[in-house]
Chains A and B, each alone.
Chain A
Amino acid sequence: MSDEPILATHGLTRRFGGLVAVNNVDFDVTPGEIHAILGPNGAGKSTLINLLSGEISPSEGQVLFHGKPIQGKSVRQIARMGIGRSHQKTNIFPRLNCLQNCELAGRIHMGGVFGSWRSRQRAQKVSERALDVLETCHLAHRAYTPAADMSYGEQRQLQIAMVLATAPSLMLLDEPMAGMGREETVQVTELLESLTDRYTLVLIEHDMDSVFRLADRITVMVDGCVLESGPTDQIRASEKVRDVYLGRHHEEATA
């Protein structure tokens, strides 16, 4: 995987008052890989992903997407450039059904405020694509169910489907398995696995099993800094990483 990175950060730093949430992070994603970000709570994972999607702007350093800085662009412009993201909190439109949720997401490519009135053919394409991603996410049978009436796990899957519907070139997923039961976690892991050959993913996740199963590369963050970054096998074998995870727990247990 030596191609040009699709996304790269250089010296990315973000402070909140005296707190340095993200400290001088160099991070890159190459096309087609799944790059997972691991780290204990408060390590700065969510801040990092918010910086990547432009929801907050960096104090220092920059984010390059396809070699171009995203600085100064609004959230929606960055979304249109092809960075799709899901949020940690379930973030769907509860009154719409699954298909409408995905169509709404896909329709941004129809262009502009008045684009919605323009072309029947494109609307047809959007619907087809929406059905397609529902199929991918095993939600085709739920197409006409209002999102509010589905189980929590299904809502999380719908959220991934909505990101897919925007046809992103890079997907940022913030804890897609958060709050899920064992069975649902396995299901979503399988879903993400099925996406690996077609999409580039940045994944924040607490579930170790899923991360080690899915990721091509892992970046481990602690206190806003990158502790170690490398292929999954390297991280699995890393003493440093083991110390942070096991050491922390050990300290907490004895404290």
Chain B
Amino acid sequence: MLHRYPKRVAIIMLVLLAIVATFPLWGPTLFGSQSDFILEKLTLMVILALFAMSLDLLVGVIGLVSLGHALFFGLGAYTLALASPEFDAASLWWMLPLVMLVAAVAALVVGLLVIRTKGIFFIMTTLAFGQMLYYLISTAPFAGGTDGVFIMFRPSVTAGESVLLDLDNPQTFFYLCLGMLVAGFLFLRWLTRSYFGQVLDGIHDNEHRMQALGYATGGYKLVAFVISGVLAAVAGMLAAMQYGFANPAQLGWHTSGEVLMMLILGGMGTIFGPILGAFAYEILLYVYEHLTVHWPILMGLTIIAAVLVLPRGIAGLIIAPPGKAELMKSPWLRRLGRNRPPADIPVKPAVPNKEG
């Protein structure tokens, strides 16, 4: 049924998780001195995967396309940067709940206003709120203006006097991010398969009908908006820890657009698709950046090609791999291949039927 996928999805995801999670073991032997750099990239991909997944709840599950999701991503980053003491490490035990709380309040306020709109108006209002915060932060002296805020010390995870996790160690930080991604994934899987998730599916398919059944659809959308915003803020906080600063660019519509592209590439509404999308996007970005300075052209063409060939993204390819018959039907592949289908269109009789 809905949000139930073939077994191979779980197998593929678990294999990929195992490959990524064991990177610190096999990375150094395979890549040598490059390994540290790749681990850093992997950490970033994991963080972006969490971000993309959070947006999927809105875009893929409910069908509300937001172009302002970076608002929460950046908010998470700035909350950490501004709340951290300047010459000391903050405690993650405090920072994580604080970031989530700030994001929840912000999402509640923004959500109350934008949730009344639909379609293009939802896109525009979310974009507007995102840009409002962007210009507020990039001109605010307390937030460092366009330079952003540096985080001198990564937050620590301590229990009493002893350090539980040394997040300055790139490997430990990598595993923290990976753990957050897995936790976020399990949470969203549970959520979309719960009764609450079924209502969201119903809203996606036919909001009017849900109201006629007696559902307060606005409330459901608002709760989903808040959950989505909170998860995005956690991703933003991790990104700020990774980079060591919070920057206005993390708030801008560019970031919102990029994460949407990850969703499209990965497959919307599947929760696991955006994870694949984030990794695919970042790998493509890395390759294209090295090929040419005009990499956005290549990226744009790739996204267009992806939409044409894989309308349901990478996830769609895994859920329902196209059979041979379907491949033959594809106008793109047919033109490439030699096996043209026989011209089975009968020649129409020139004289119209005179029976009627």
Contacts and interface: CB of A to CB of B under 8 A. Distances in A.
Contact of A162 (B2, B198, B213): B213
B213 A105 contact: yes
B67 to A, nearest CB: 25
Interface string A1-12: 000000000000
Most chain B CB atoms below 10 A, which of A92, A95, A110, A162: A95
B196 interface: yes
A43 interface: no
A91 interface: yes
A235 to B, nearest CB: 29
Contact of A113 (B2, B196, B202, B211): B196
A214 to B, nearest CB: 23
Interface stretch (B22-30, B113-121, B145-153, B214-222): B214-222
A107 B195 contact: yes
B201 A117 contact: no
A254 B201 CA distance: 52
A95 B205 contact: yes
B209 A113 contact: no
Interface in A70-105: 74-76, 79-80, 84-85, 87, 91-97, 100, 103-105
Contact of B194 (A76, A80, A117): A117
B194 A104 contact: no
B164 interface: no
Interface residues of B, number: 22
Given A76-B214, A79-B211, A96-B2, 13 more contacts: A84-B213, A87-B212, A91-B209, A95-B2, A100-B1, A100-B198, A108-B213, A113-B219, A116-B195, A116-B196, A116-B199, A117-B194, A117-B195
User: 7 closest A-B pairs (Cβ-Cβ)?
Assistant: A116-B195, A79-B214, A108-B214, A113-B219, A80-B214, A116-B196, A75-B211
Interface residues of A, number: 32
Nearest to A97: B1
Contacts of A117: 194-196
Contact of B215 (A76, A87, A123): A76
A123 B196 contact: no
A117 B2 CA distance: 19
Contacts of B213: 76, 79, 84, 104-105, 108, 162, 166
A96 B1 contact: yes
A239 B198 CA distance: 52
Contacts of B195: 107, 110, 116-117, 123
17 contacts: A53-B212, A55-B212, A75-B212, A76-B213, A76-B215, A79-B213, A79-B214, A85-B212, A91-B209, A93-B206, A95-B2, A96-B1, A96-B198, A96-B202, A108-B214, A113-B216, A113-B220
Most chain A CB atoms below 10 A, which of B194, B205, B212: B212
A95 B197 CA distance: 13
A150 to B, nearest CB: 14
A53 B209 CA distance: 12
Nearest to A55: B212
